[in-house]
Amino acid sequence: MNTKNRTLVYATNIMAMVFWSFSFIWYKAVFLYLQPFTTTLARLIISAVLLFTVAALLGKLQKIDFKGFKMIFALAFFEPFIYSIGESLGMKLVSPTTGAVIVALIPLFVPIFASIFIKEKISVMNIVGILLSFIGVLFVIISRNLELVVSVKGLLFMGLAVMAAIVYSIRLKKLTTLYNPLTLIAWQNIISAVLVLPLVLIFDVKHWNTSMFCIDAVIPLLKLTIFASSLAFLFYSNAVQVLGAVRANIFTNLIPVFTATLSFFLLNEKLLFHNILGIVMVITGLILSQSNCTLFRRKLLFFNLTSAQNFGECYIILIRLFSKYANKMQ
């Protein structure tokens, strides 16, 4: 690939990070009118319809065989399905900056995941980066009086999103060699929408009202759909295909910087010195942890979770877990 095209890939991947940074702001606006599961379902359906239409008009919609469908289903199960649920429920309980800092830990934990499942060695720089970033997160979520200033439940939900994104990033590389980004993202969104639908029917329908359709709800929802659920994923998938998952993931280091800046100017979110120091430490730790990562040099991580039976069991378990917290979250 020539320098001009590679520069375009870098530029579009940075734009993906900008869109995902804005998504933490848009979530707060949407949640004034919509429940998390409804928000996720709406953005997935609209995005899928948009992408299928664009792919068909451009002649980019590829046929998916049964084997390919199983692989895409496995991908969609982790992200957008699990990721979106964890992120949307978490973002009801934490600030945009805190959410962005936690999500930015994704590339940090990829080497750990690899060491557990495919016996990749963790380098000294990985360990230094992990420790530095962990301390940085503490600076973000703890007050001057050493009190936890964020919801533990919110942190757990955001942690679920992070774990789902790690699996997604690892599995995505293989699929980008088989299908173009338009086909891939369109199918993963429609599959995830089907998985989310039962959660909406169980938990959210009783909360529906006419305010859902007001302009103040629709505009940020459309922004989430077009920019965060569609364009950002397309740009990121293309970056993974060209740069590899490790290099493409390094760009997520920019998300907490963008989000903190946006929250400061748009939401008047206060950032104390130790919060800013924590963000800097997280980003520094992430960069250090990536400096010697060899995850994709020789092999990829593929989990033995491709059967419909295993995913069905996981899905039922998740439904039951969410039901325990439904009343508290709503």
The whole-model pTM stands at 0.75
Q: What is the pLDDT of residue 119?
A: 58
Place of tokens 């997604």: 168
Q: Where are the alpha helices (DSSP H) in 200-254?
A: 215-223, 232-243, 245-250
Q: What SS3 class is residue 148? A: strand
Q: What are phi and psi of 148, to 5 degrees?
A: -70, 120
Q: What are phi and psi of 304, to 5 degrees?
A: -85, 60
Tokens (6 digits) for 266: 């748009």
Q: What is the pLDDT of residue 170?
A: 73
Q: What is the pLDDT of residue 127?
A: 74
- CA-nearest of 17, 156, 165, 19 to 94 is 156
Q: What is the pLDDT of residue 291?
A: 59
Q: Cα angle at 217 between 211 and 218, to 5 degrees?
A: 110
The parts of the chain modelled with pLDDT lower than 70 are 1-3, 107, 110-122, 126, 141, 143-148, 245-246, 286, 289-330
Beta bridge partners of 148: 142
C-alpha span between 229 and 251 (Å, rounded): 17
Per domain, the residue ranges of the chain are 3-329
